[in-house]
């Protein structure tokens, strides 16, 4: 019985292997991407990189405790909200963020921050940043961005503060 099972198993493996080989031989060859041609339209990769650059301005502004570094990442109409310790909605227009960075943050050059997610659909995107010990605070930020006149800009930020590690 054991020998019969082993023979069946070997036969099945050979059959699957032969089928895969035959399938591969019948498959049309795929054209190589871009084949040395110049692309005329922006790609997802270019948008991803542009969004990363915008978000890195925010991270660097937090690390240096200078809102002037991050201001260009935000639309003048942007907003920022969170839930305060009392459980109530707090926030408003984006100058609240800039004022807080300039008055309440201290430089944190060794703080760790990572863009953990970027999702893009056309001219809309969302992103997440996790930061540890940024001016003594750890937080998770969620951003919404829009591509306005060809440039990505943050239009809203919501966040959750955590106890620093």
Ordered by where they begin, the domains of the chain are: 44-162 (3.10.450.50)
Percentage of residues in the chain having pLDDT higher than 70:
73
pLDDT at 26: 43
pLDDT in tens, 86-129: 999 999 999 999 999 999 999 999 999 999 999 999 999 999 99
pLDDT of residue 10: 39
pLDDT in tens, 138-157: 999 999 999 999 999 999 99
Give yes or no for residue 71 having a pLDDT over 70. Answer: yes
Three-state secondary-structure class, residue 116: strand
Strand order in the sheet with 137-148: 89-93, 74-83, 151-162, 137-148, 124-134, 112-121
């Amino acid at each position: 019985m054991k020998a019969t099972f082993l023979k069946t198993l070997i036969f099945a493996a050979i059959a699957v292997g032969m089928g895969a080989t035959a399938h591969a031989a019948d498959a049309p060859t795929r054209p190589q991407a871009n084949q040395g041609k110049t692309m005329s339209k922006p790609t997802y990769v270019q948008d991803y990189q542009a969004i990363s650059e915008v978000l890195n301005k925010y991270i660097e502004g937090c690390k240096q405790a200078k809102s002037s570094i991050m201001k260009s990442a935000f639309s003048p109409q942007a907003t920022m909200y969170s839930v305060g310790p009392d459980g109530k909605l707090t926030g408003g227009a984006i100058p609240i963020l800039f004022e807080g960075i300039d008055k309440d943050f201290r430089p944190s050059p060794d703080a760790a921050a990572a863009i953990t997610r970027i999702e893009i659909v056309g001219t809309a995107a969302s992103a997440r940043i996790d930061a540890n010990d940024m001016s003594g605070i750890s937080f998770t930020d969620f951003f919404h961005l829009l591509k306005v006149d060809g440039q990505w800009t943050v239009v809203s930020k919501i966040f959750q503060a955590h106890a620093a590690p």
